[in-house]
Structure 1
Amino acid sequence: MWSDLSNQPAFVAVTSVVAGLSVIWVFRKIAKKHKRSKLRKQWSNAGKDVVVLHQFVRGKYCINLSPYAVKVETFLRLANIKYIVDSEIPFGPKGKCPWITLNGEELGDSEMIIQKLIDHFKVDLDNHLDTRRKAQLETVRITADEFVFWFVVTWRYWLDGCKSFLKSQSFSSFLNFVFPLFMKKGIKVKARYQGIGHHTPDEIYGIAKSTCRALADVLGDDPYFGGEQLSTADCSVFGQLSQLMWNAPDSHYEALVTEMYPSLGAYCNRMKEKIFPDWYKLLNPPME
């Protein structure tokens, strides 16, 4: 005969716990939905054609831990587009950071965001370039967004276990503890899918060196990758190199741009001074 489990104390206790957790989950979902609805009203009140840039909170030395957030914010400033920053909800409709709200429309993915801004605001940062040079800089952009990004995050979150990276952020003690636990496993899986995760640490560092050398060779003696004038590609390159320059303190990856290829470090400082004269005030905490 089947026993009546509903009369067993253990069964009742487990059922109570499950029911309690379900109630908590439902209330959290409702609270999150209410918060997002309230924030949406604030974003809508930002004004016509004012971009709301949703991204992570600022860091100690770099304006963002996401190279793509730095990329988009750099473009907004170069294009002289009015924007405000929101750090309450950093992940957008595609589960990516950053994302934007523009006149009520939500859009994710940094490249799609920039293309939307180009079309909407009729911006052309590359009108000083010929067709061949534009194609060359698109290759540079892809190199930065795809190659530099992957060796940085693979080293930062997996190989180094966030040790260097956490020095550059103003996280709480709790987040300092749990962040590496979640990120290490997740990035390890993604890096293996991407392909770079199948290499040894030395081989990945070799990829980093050759990529930085190529970028330094392309830059040459020019102040920017667009030459004497800034280009759209500079937004991507600066976004990615900013992670080596300011979010990898006291590491051999930081040394790639400060010692091995110092022209890249000088480029980062040049970009910071030209586009973000308020850089130190934006940091968390702000610096004088």
Structure 2
Amino acid sequence: MEAVVRTMTDGWRGRASAVVSAVVVLYVGRKIMKARKKTKQRKAWDSVGHNVVLLHQFRRGKFCPNLSPFALKVETFLRLANVKYEVDTESPFGPKGKCPWITLNGEDLGDSEFILERLASEFDVDLDSHLDPQKVATLEAVRVLADEHLFWCVITWRYWIDGCESFMKSQSFSPIMSLFFPPFMKRGIRSRAREHGIGKHTPEEIYRICKKACSTLSGVLGESPFFGGERPSSADCGIFGQLAQLRWNAPGSKYEALVTEMYPNLSAFCDRMKTRIYPDWNELLKSN
């Protein structure tokens, strides 16, 4: 009997050892593959050339070049500043886990505002040279309103309240992604919105907050072609990135109507930015 028990125990130990060995092999193999992929990616990123910005961002949308207002903000700045760049959509999340991020001369940098500051310094660019200090300060406050206030209204509506319905119309996903992406994002954004505080309001209250933000932006813009006056400033890049989400990535919604109907000067501003900075807009869009 002892011999039988010993044999069974040895068999269990052997199988357990085999399972552990297999898990270790799979884990090590995965690590090696990830390391090789990272090395290959780094080689590709560094091959774009000296002083060429590699912009890591989400894939193109159907109606707007990017679903991320911050990615659109950085790309708009790059174009306004005449900085040469290339786009990578395979690794949209950077060193801070945020999109977009850039690689410049082998260095990785995240957060759109830090990116713009670095680009302005690195390439000696000043998009605000035509503005007096008071106007620069005013536009910075307006930019913060858009980046930190309007942004939360839009994503809370887009992913939670609207359940990604309008959003899915503006993007192209595989059948599997179309099935699992909406509920995943709805849960995630609902949690983040509640932590932020805006998620504790009712849908109608969030809409009112968004409407007030648009009203403020409309009032600041007035009849000027751009927030920077006769030509775009650095603040225009960020404001455009946010308003573009309402103008093009909220099709058929009352959020789109805030720009196109309620405050048409904001829609006209978006169209001017599009015409001036993105002559290849239609070519950038994803066709299906």
Both proteins in one fold, TM over 0.5: yes
Q: Which has the larger radius of gyration?
A: 2
* Structure 1 counterpart of 2:177, one-letter code: L
Partner of 1:88: 90
Partner of 1:158: 160
Give how far 1:16 is off.
7.7
Q: In 2 relative to 1, CA 262–35 (structure 1 residues): closer, same or farther, beyond 3 Å?
A: same
Q: TM-score, normalised by structure 2?
A: 0.92
Partner of 2:182: 180
Give how far 1:31 is off.
2.4
Give how far 1:23 is off.
5.1
Structure 1: how far apart are the matches of 2:168 and 2:21? 37
Structure 2: how far apart are the matches of 1:15 and 1:183? 40
- Number of corresponding residues: 283
Indicate which of 222, 228, 234 corresponds to 2:224: 222
SS across alignment from 2:254: coil
SS across alignment from 1:36: helix
Deviates more, 1:117-126 or 1:182-191: 182-191
Q: In 2 relative to 1, CA 25–222 (structure 1 residues): closer, same or farther, beyond 3 Å?
A: farther
Q: TM-score, normalised by structure 1?
A: 0.92
Partner of 1:112: 114
Q: In 2 relative to 1, CA 231–36 (structure 1 residues): closer, same or farther, beyond 3 Å?
A: same
SS across alignment from 2:207: helix
SS across alignment from 2:109: strand
1:243-282 to 2 correspondence within 5 Å?
243-282=245-284
Can you give the 5+ residue segments of structure 2 that lack an aligned partner in the other structure? none
SS across alignment from 2:244: helix
Q: In 2 relative to 1, CA 151–13 (structure 1 residues): closer, same or farther, beyond 3 Å?
A: farther
% identity of equivalent residues: 60
Indicate which of 64, 75, 78 corresponds to 2:77: 75
* Structure 2 counterpart of 1:109, one-letter code: D
Structure 1 stretches of 4+ with a deviation exceeding 6 A read 9-19
1:1-288 to 2 correspondence within 5 Å?
24=26, 26-285=28-287
Please list the CA deviations of residues 230-277 of structure 1 after superposition, one character each: whole Å capped at 9, or x if unmatched: 100000000001111111111111111111111111111110110000
Please list the CA deviations of residues 2-34 of structure 1 after superposition, one character each: whole Å capped at 9, or x if unmatched: x99x86x99999998887666555544432332
Give how far 1:108 is off.
0.3
Give how far 1:192 is off.
1.1
Structure 2: how far apart are the matches of 1:12 and 1:261? 72
SS across alignment from 1:101: strand
* Structure 1 counterpart of 2:68, one-letter code: S
* Structure 1 counterpart of 2:153, one-letter code: F
Structure 2: how far apart are the matches of 1:197 and 1:25? 39
Structure 1: how far apart are the matches of 2:28 and 2:258? 48
Instruction: Tell me how large the CA RMSD over aligned residues is.
Output: 2.3
Give how far 1:37 is off.
1.3
SS across alignment from 2:55: strand
Structure 1: how far apart are the matches of 2:15 and 2:258? 57
Can you give the 5+ residue segments of structure 1 that lack an aligned partner in the other structure? none
